[in-house]
Amino acid sequence: MDAPSQDEPLIPPGPRIADRFRGFLPVVIDVETGGFNKDTDALLEIAAVFLRVEEDGTLVQDDALTLHVEPFEGANIEQAALDFTGIQPFSPLRGAVPEREALTTLFRAVRQALRQSDCNRAVLVGHNAHFDHGFMQAAAQRQDLKRNPFHPFSSFDTVTLAGLAYGQTVLARACQAAGIAFDSRAAHSALYDAQKTAELFCAIVNRWHGALGWPPAQIRD
């Protein structure tokens, strides 16, 4: 993500994502891991998809970032998890970087997005968001990173939102219900899953926007 020039206004005119989410910036995150335990299992891939608001108020995907991560020292890796994702954690072809470097790169990009959008905190958007949020928070604590731009406990969960909007909770089926193409052969790549989660999140927000308008009418006594 390129920094704005000195002559470029930091906040462009028109609808602002900061106004849509109470000063929070939703950032879609998907992680691939070596198991289900955030404290002991390796973090192997991180993908982030940033969002923006168009002139008509429509929420759309913006830039994306993907990082391959070296297992931290002493990390547990379950073979069943590798069979599921197809990741070869020690292959030099992955171009993996140490966990601290991966998180530093991601957090730097998120902080830049916060400045550009005039938001004050990032909120993780994920499919089963507690899983991705838990691994991200555990890794940040493990690496003693103090400037974590993500809210420490709030998140947007597309499982819940898709269950409400479409009656589906599995990502592939929720996407199909929303009219979003989904290739099961490409699934379980962090970037692909993050992009599809972002597309689903935008579809739900835009559906609400189209049906009820934004901002919502004031609630009266």
Which residue stretches of the chain are H helix?
17-20, 79-85, 99-117, 129-142, 158-166, 171-177, 190-212
Task: Tell me which of 130, 133, 151, 188 is the catalytic residue.
Answer: 188
Structure tokens at 107: 């957090």
Q: How far is CA 64 from CA 6, 47, 177, 204, in A?
A: 24, 7, 24, 20
Residue 19 burial (10 A CB sphere; 0-12, 13-18, 19+) = middle
Three-state DSSP class for residue 212: helix
**For residues 65 and 85, what is the distance between their CA atoms, to the nearest angstrom?**
19
**For residues 72 and 62, what is the distance between their CA atoms, to the nearest angstrom?**
30
Can you tell me which residue has the tokens 């070869």? Answer: 88
Active site residue 188: yes
Chain-centroid distance, C-alpha 99: 17
Which residue stretches of 56-182 are H helix?
79-85, 99-117, 129-142, 158-166, 171-177
Supply the residues annotated as catalytic: 188
